[in-house]
Structure formats: C-alpha cells, structure tokens
Structure 1
Amino acid sequence: MKEDRSVSAAAVERSLDPASEAEWVELRELGHRMLDGMFDHIRGVRDMPAWQELPARTKSDFAAEAVPRTGVGAEAAYESFVRDVLPYGIGNAHPRFWGWVQGGGTVVGMLAEMLAAGMNPNVGGFNDSATMVEEQVLRWLAELMGMPEGTSGLLTSGGSMANLLGLAVGRCARAGFDVREEGVEGGPMLRVYCSTETHSWLNKAVELMGMGRVSLCPVGVDAEYRMRMDELSEAVAADQAAGYRPLCVVGTAGTVNTGATDDLEAIADLCEAEGMWFHVDGAFGALAYLSESLRPALRGMERVDSLAFDLHKWGYLPYDVGCVLVRDAEAHRAAFATGASYLTAMERGPVAGGIRFAERTPELSRGFRALKVWMSLKSQGVDALVEQIEKNVEQASYLARRVESSPELELAAEAPLNIVCFRYRGASDEENKEILMRVQERGIAVPSGTMVEARFAIRVAITNHRSRREDFDALVDAVVAIGREVMG
C-alpha cells in the first residue's frame, strides 16, 4: 500500500515544466522558432501596414471561445498567436507610428524581457541581484537627470503611476499635518497647481488620493502653451488668503498636446519661496535633458523635488517601464513605509537590510523592469539614446517645414520639441478627423488626433527610433491626397 501511495503522489506532484527529456527538446525547438519569428517580425516591420484592424471573424472568435479546461499544447497556442494576435497590434513598432507618444521597443529590450521572465524575481527590494540592478539603474538615471547623489526612486508601470507616487510623497512632505494618520480632513484644503495643458493623470491622481478635483487649480497658458507665471503667483496668493494650503506645483516638460515646456526655473523659484513641493511631469520630454543641445529648454528641471518620466516613450524601450525620482530619500520612505511582521528585516539572508522598494510604493509584488533598462544602457550606451532623441527633434522640424511649405496644409501650433500638430487647410474638424482615420485605416501611418485651441488637429508625436525622413514625406503626401478626396 505504501508503494501505491508513493506512485499516486508522484503522479499528482507534476510541475508545469516539460515532463520528459523529449518534451524539453520539443519545447526548446519551439522556443527557438518563436525567437526567430519575432526577429523576422521586427526586422520586416517596415514592409507591413502601420496598422490593420482585426477581421470581424477574429473578433468574433475571441468573444466566443470557451475557457480552455484542457490545453491544446504550446505549439498550437503559438500558431494562434501568429495568426490572430501578432498582425493586429496597435503598430507602435512600425516606423510610421507616431500616435499617443508610444515608443517602438528594441530588440535588446525584447531579449531582456525574456531573461527577466526566466529569472522571475519579485523585485520588492530583497537582498538579491535584481534589487542591485534596479538600484544601479536608478542611480544612473538620477545622475543623467542632474539630480544629486542619494536621490531615491522607483521604476513603475508608466508615467501615470510615477506621477502619482511623486505627488503622494509631496503631499506627505508638505501638507503640514500627518496625512497618513489623519487623512485629508486633518488640515486645511490642499491645493495643487498645474497648467491647462497638463496631462489627465493629475485629475485621476487627486481623485484617487481623496483630495478631489476641487484641490486642483488649473492655470492658463501663454501663446507658447507654457504655464503663465503671473496667474500662478496670483492663484497661490489667493489660496493663502482664503486659508488653503498651497501644496505643490506640477510643471510639465513636454506637454502632451504640443510638446511645450513650462518655465521650470521660475516654478522652482516660486516653490522654494513658498515652501511648496515642485513636481515635474516629464513623461517623454524629460529625456531631452540627456542632450546637451536640448537641455537648455529644460533648465530648472534639476531642481525638482520629484520627477516622473517614461523609458517606454522617448527611451524607446518595450512596455512597460516608467520612473519616479525623489530628491529627499527619507521623504520618499516616509510616504509609504509601514511595519508588518512578515516583512521584518533579518541580519542575514534574503531579507537582510529590509525590503527597500516596498517602502517606496504601495506595491509589494513588482516585476524585473530594470533588466531591460540595464541591458540596453550597458549594451548600447547613453550616447546612442541621445542620438535618437536629437534625430527625432530634427525630424519634427523637418515635418513642420514640409507642412508650412504645402499650400494645402497648416500648422496648428509651433513645434518646439518632437510633436507636430497640423491640419488640412480649409477642412472642418470632422473632415480632418476623416482624413486621419483614412490614413490610419489604409495602414499608411498612425498619427493621432487632438484639440488645439478648440480645433481638431492631426498630431504626430515622434518617439520612434525607426522613422526616417522618407516616412514623414509619405505622411504629408498621404494627408494631401486623402484631403483632396475628402474635400471633393
């Protein structure tokens, strides 16, 4: 009977790994096919449509397929991926994808993601190599962004979470009362200042933090879409007189609509004088700081209390990886650290020194995002990244010149960085939308759309390392040709 129980237990205690040497060989061969397939896909992406819609039948199949109680095997699952998933992505790996400020990813980043998944660490900040890699990456990024030694930070899912964390630290540091203990009702109304061009993450952040949108004070912008400092100063003074507490100014390095950058030096001066937290949303624009030629436009950013940016945008890395940097490491820790017996630090072993990243975020479980950053910087170097950023800015200038030289097109706003907004001249908002959708649907290119001064514009956000001048020529030619179709 004992022998029978042992056999039964062995059968029950299977893992999810291949069960035999033959199965290992088979899966290894499939893995090599998958890797070769992705290399072929990325290498040949220029020859594909910039975007193509899922066929109706494929959509129907996705909606109708039942839960797979028994598997079909890895090879069949891969075939489904190749047939039904790979051709119908959003298209941001394509050299003519310029929509919504999305980076195109890199081959080295893709390989690093595979290695990270193979290691499969929970990067909560344990005493392990993955933690050391992220700490090193954060130190490099702080240095590159002009922030001092000892700056704290964290890699996040993206700019929205990075911005939220930076604002949360600022609230704890500048509220004037114990927000973590008393909640937002423990003191005067807290006020956060931003421009009318600030990204919508801030609305969500103040809602999630329980401060409500009533805590937000949007400030008007000038003709270059930069926050008006006179209005900002007046708003702060008015709130002080009303008994509110000015908490934080959110400056923007590269606004989402036009790529404008606020006067960060002046905002830093005001925050220093008034004792406010200075946070910069640099989702894509902050990375222009890496370039000596572009850095002057971001002067003052190095004085931030907290800074958020995305490496999957103008850092070109695969999704997802954002970053928040916090000048005051103790303020960062004070905003999130908490005691729990199951997280107690030990003198030796995997939790020697504590679980450091758990003290910088509400999250405990975190993936190994840092590996793709680390491997990319080590393998390609920062100078290669700077070269691409400067190329994209030059491409934006080139596109703006092409638009201005066309009698059928017009710029909707200046292009100070890497975003170009333009219209088909004489067309209504609905007609310009139609032009944009036809460009997208035909797989020619993928710009996105936005509203500039209450008028619809085609928006080209250039964070694509695969783009060439010929791609922007193709876009202009297509918009002109389709504009003639739409206008009759």
Structure 2
Amino acid sequence: MKKEGAFMYKRMKFLEEGRTKEKLTPYMNPPKNYINSEEKSVFLGYPQTIPHPIALETYKNYLEYNENHVGVFSNVFTQLDQTRKMEKELIEMLGDLYGDDTVDGYVTSGGTEGNIMGTWIGKELLGKDCCVIKSYLTHQSIDKACCLCSLSNVITISYTDEYVMDLAELESIIKSQINLGVKSFIIVATMGYTMTGSKDNIEKIDMLIQHYEMENSIKFYFHIDAAIGGLVFPFLHENEGIFKYKSVKSLTVDPHKMGYVPFSAGIFICRKSLQESIAIPIKYAKTVYDKTLISSRNGAAAATCWVMFQYLGKEGFKRELNKLIILKEYLVKKLLSKNLIEVISDQGTNMVCIHFNCIHDGILSDQLEKKYILDGFILKYRGQDYYCYKIYIMPHVTKESLDYFIEDIVRISQVNRKDN
C-alpha cells in the first residue's frame, strides 16, 4: 500500500488468472458522467457529449469488424471497400462545405493530431528555419507540434478585447522577422478558441499573407485550428468557406465535438497533394505511402462520421445548433438577471465564457467545479485579470439541469455575501 495524496492506494498487478465475466460486469457498464439527476449535476465545461443515437448505432455495428484504415483515400479513384470509400466521401463532403472540392485529408484521432499534421507539413515545405506565429489563446497542441518538429522560432502574440489574434501585432512581428532574415512563416489561426469561443479574422490574415507573399517574396503556410468551430460557424451564418481564402493550406476539425459522434474522430484536411511532403513508403505494401501521423486508424470512426453528416445535412446541423444556443441564452439571461455573472465572451454560439462576480475572486468551490466539470482560468478583461469559466451547452444539457446549476450559484452567492 502506498499513500497517494489523502488516501491509501494499492497499485494494480497483472493477474496470473483471469476473472469471471460476472465479477467484471460492474466495470463493463460505465457510470453516468454527463448528467446525474440524483446528484443534480451536469457536465458543462467541455465540448463533448453523449453521442447521437444514430452515431452510436453505426459505431457499434462497425466495431465488430475492426476495420484498419492505413493510408489516405482522398483523390483515389480506384475501387475501395465500403469504409474506405466512406472516408474518401467524408473528405469530399467537408471539402464542399469549406470551399475546395479537391482537398486531401483523413480521419484523425482529434485536433491535436490535426494541428501536428499542419505544422509538420508546413515545416517540410518551408524548412526548419521558418517562424511560427500563434496567439496566446492558441491550443497547446501547437506548442507540442513545434517541439516535435524542432521548430524553435515560435512567437506568441497578444489577443484583442474581442479575444482574437491582434493583427497589428501580427504584421509587426512579420516585418521584424523579415528584417532579421526570416523568409518563411507558419501562421496558426483558430475558429473557436477553447476558452472564449471566438474566431480569428481569417479574411484579414489571408489578405496580409498575400500582400507579403507578393511584395516580399516571403513564403507562408496558413493552418486553421477549427477543432471546435469547424462544425459550428459554417451553420451559424452564411458559410464563408475557409478554403476560398487562397493562403489557407490546411485545417483540423473534430466531429467528436460538434459532430456528435464517439471519440476519437477528428479530420485533417489540406490542399490537394500537400500530404506528399510527409509521405513515407510502407515496406510491406508496394504501392501505398503513409501520409498520416498515426498510420493505423479505426474505420468505424470514418463510417460513423459519414452516416452522421448524411443524416443531419446542413439543415440538421443548423437545427441542432440552434437548440443549444437557445439553452445557452436561457442560462446567460437567468444568471445576468440575478447579477451573478459578467459575460466575458459570447460569440453567439453554444458556448459562453463568464466571470462569477457574485463570488470572491470569481472562483467556485472545488465541490462545484467537480460537480459541473468546470475548470477556471485567467483572462484579460477591460485591462484587468479576471478568473473565468467556459461553459459549453451540448445535447445532454437540459433546461432542468441548467436550473440546478443556477440554484447552486444563487446559493453560494448568498453564502458569500453573508461572509462578507
């Protein structure tokens, strides 16, 4: 027995003899982790949810066959079996949604893999002396990608009051790096920052890149992290089509977030043939090159994404999203009416970033953070540091479960006022 923290912990050993199914049954059935009516708790802190019933049924049906996808099937025009054909068509569907029907890509484990892919391809095309520019709000997977790719010239720039990349600072950094002799840049923008839900101005960054490419013969690789927003923003407004911007080279999107499918299911998409830059021959398959990061992949994920996209269509995605936004607006209105919060960032999606102005320092108790799966962080707001929380309204969230949450915040605010 070893003491770990406040309790005694016995490390697991590999058994000599296996256990019976009866003894393992409790472990074969997971606890409810998204909403618990008995404890009046609900999962609010991250963009994940119980998969859609159609997605669950599809995933279970394909798991039995344990399909192993190796290689990339986009822009392949030979005969493919069903799941590989579905993955090919999945990339085509997203290419159509984002404005380039010739894109390449594949189903990944998620946004981190997609961000590593974008950075890796950028480095192979531009060389290791390129400068990587990202914002303070950029997902940590870009730092991981730069480390793995041995990219040392990485610059983090500020965010504006709207929680987007500061474009004036971006241009200033590009100019200063050019003056230092840098000839190539990887720019990482985000559609749906995890902490704020905001999206960078892709159009203006594209214009800036095109200007410096023409005027200074500088090379750029522009990657978009759309892990969260890639299946949100296209259905909120008139779809702008990310790939209509010429300088955009690649993006990552996560159907296991706002596509309502099981983990793990991300998708990496890039301009046609860019994956050739990282292609590695497979010794045991004469005509196949590996143009992915993780090689073997789960065919069930591709099939499930295909089915969900076909089931929902654009109008279905809009309907699902609008339901969530209505619930988000209900929550925000209730909390504001009771003077419990300050809204830090609300981009009109199913996500909101808030500060609890009814609580000392804005910090919830450990018990409440655990109950609602909420993690706090510090952001600049009106020139000062605020302790904030992100709340994601996902399909498992109900009006009743939000009322539980509101009741808890009211209760703790009353206790806080008495103490003060």
Structure 1 or 2: more strand by fraction: 2
Is the Cα–Cα contact under 8 Å of residues 392 and 418 in structure 1 kept in the other structure? yes
The corresponding residue for 1:413 is: 345
Equivalent residue pairs, number: 390
Summarize the Cα distance change of 1:388–1:447 in structure 2 as closer, same or farther, 3 Å threshold.
farther
Greater Cα radius of gyration, structure 1 or 2 = 1
2:308 is the counterpart of 1:385: no
Aligned counterpart for 1:485 among listed residues 366, 391, 415: 415
Q: Output the CA distance in 1 between the equivalents of 2:373 and 2:130.
A: 41
Q: Output the CA distance in 2 between the equivalents of 1:284 and 1:149.
A: 22
Is the Cα–Cα contact under 8 Å of residues 163 and 281 in structure 1 kept in the other structure? yes
Q: Deviations over 1:275-294 (max 9, x none)?
A: 41111111111212431x43
2:113 is the counterpart of 1:161: yes
Q: Which runs of 5+ in 2 are unaligned?
A: 74-79, 214-218
Q: Deviations over 1:286-332 (max 9, x none)?
A: 212431x4346x675642210111111111211111111102x2121
What's the CA shift for 1:104?
2.8
2:388 corresponds to which letter in structure 1?
A
2:389 corresponds to which letter in structure 1?
I
2:66 is the counterpart of 1:135: no
Q: Deviations over 1:175-224 (max 9, x none)?
A: 1xxx4xxxx3xxxx311112222111111110111113xx2212222211
Is the Cα–Cα contact under 8 Å of residues 113 and 293 in structure 2 kept in the other structure? no
What's the CA shift for 1:60?
6.9
Taking only aligned residues, the RMSD between alpha carbons, in angstroms, comes to: 2.7
Q: Output the CA distance in 2 between the equivalents of 1:416 and 1:224.
A: 13
Q: Which runs of 5+ in 1 are unaligned?
A: 1-55, 346-353
2:377 is the counterpart of 1:450: yes
| TM-score (normalizing by structure 1) | 0.73
2:353 is the counterpart of 1:400: no
1:113 corresponds to which letter in structure 2?
Y
The corresponding residue for 1:366 is: 297
Q: Output the CA distance in 2 between the equivalents of 1:98 and 1:340.
A: 43
| TM-score (normalizing by structure 2) | 0.84
My pick for the range that moved more, 245-254 or 91-100, is: 91-100
What's the CA shift for 1:99?
1.2
Work out the percentage of aligned pairs sharing the same amino acid.
Answer: 22
Structure 1 or 2: more helix by fraction: 1
The corresponding residue for 1:8 is: none
Q: Output the CA distance in 2 between the equivalents of 1:216 and 1:399.
A: 39
Q: Output the CA distance in 1 between the equivalents of 2:45 and 2:118.
A: 26
Q: Output the CA distance in 2 between the equivalents of 1:294 and 1:93.
A: 34
2:281 is the counterpart of 1:339: yes
Q: Output the CA distance in 1 between the equivalents of 2:388 and 2:48.
A: 18
Aligned counterpart for 1:207 among listed residues 147, 152, 158: 147
Q: Output the CA distance in 2 between the equivalents of 1:382 and 1:68.
A: 50
Is the Cα–Cα contact under 8 Å of residues 249 and 271 in structure 1 kept in the other structure? no
2:267 corresponds to which letter in structure 1?
C
Is the Cα–Cα contact under 8 Å of residues 92 and 98 in structure 1 kept in the other structure? no
What's the CA shift for 1:124?
0.6
Q: Output the CA distance in 2 between the equivalents of 1:365 and 1:478.
A: 46
Is the Cα–Cα contact under 8 Å of residues 35 and 396 in structure 2 kept in the other structure? no
The corresponding residue for 1:229 is: 167
The corresponding residue for 2:49 is: 103
Alignment of 1:278-317 (within 5 A): 278-291=222-235, 293-295=236-238, 302-303=244-245, 304-317=248-261
1:136 corresponds to which letter in structure 2?
E
Alignment of 1:245-324 (within 5 A): 245-273=183-211, 274=213, 275-291=219-235, 293-295=236-238, 302-303=244-245, 304-324=248-268
Summarize the Cα distance change of 1:77–1:244 in structure 2 as closer, same or farther, 3 Å threshold.
same
